[in-house]
Amino acid sequence: MREKKVTINNLLEMKRKGEKIAMVTAYDYHTAVLADRAGMDVVLIGDSLGMTMLGYESTLPVTMNEMIIFSKAVTRGCKRPLVVGDMPYMTYQVSIDDAMRNAGRFMSEAGTDAIKLEGGKHMAKTVEALVKVGIPVMGHIGLTPQSMAMLGGFKVQGKTAQAAVDLLDDAIALENAGSFFILLELVPSVISKVISERLTIPTVSIGSGPDCDGQLLIFHDLVGLFEAFTPKHVK
């Protein structure tokens, strides 16, 4: 197990070598310590904390201030994993200036190593702007919970040929914009395999099959603490 702090270059090297990337969410100090001791490569402070920690019915009500409070706790507990802060709803979609301001808060106030945002081609300019000012960006395509009303709820994406092509185009656009990592959520495994083979940056699956470069699980799903819903990909 790598003892030093995991870096973006380490993740790229793991993809080149065919080594799987282990990723989990954490929302508090003690969970972060557990993830650290377990040897996780990446820890995501997901806006899913709105549902798992705050009792919201979706991720949409989560605010930046709430994310910062939880993120500070997680970064204090994580010594080895690369820590990613999840940009909440409407903190980056309105303008690039908003995105830079709020992403900067994750880095400067909470001490995260990177941020994650949802969206494909239409977010490429935002990703590029963030990367240019030194903020590493993880992309997120497929089922994007902040847009689930438009996507018809929690269901598999990319089932049609055109939808599959669109997902590949989204992934390529994010890589070209400077993303270092892409989360594929509820994408058919055959499509996630094609995307993973096409990109030079790593991909991580949440319900998208075994052929991505890594797997992400929600901590509360993993240990059975979130009783409202248990995803099929949690075993």
User: Which residues are the active-site residues?
Assistant: 185
Contacts of residue 231, defined as CB under 8 A and 6 or more positions apart, other chains included, come to 207, 218, 221
In 3D space, the residue among 229, 171, 221 whose CA is nearest the CA of residue 199 turns out to be: 171
The alpha-carbon radius of gyration of the chain (Å, integer) is: 16
Amino acid at 234: V
> Which helix (H) or strand (E) element contains residue 217?
strand 214-217
3-state secondary structure of 219: helix
3-state secondary structure of 133: coil
φ/ψ bin of 36: left (φ > 0), alpha (ψ from -120 to 50), beta (otherwise): alpha
- CA distances to 91, 92, 118, 170, 182 from 140, in Å: 15, 14, 5, 10, 6
> Which helix (H) or strand (E) element contains residue 22?
strand 21-25
Cβ(165)–Cβ(114) below 8 Å: no
CA 232 to chain centroid, in Å, comes to: 19
Residue 152: Cβ within 10 Å count: 9
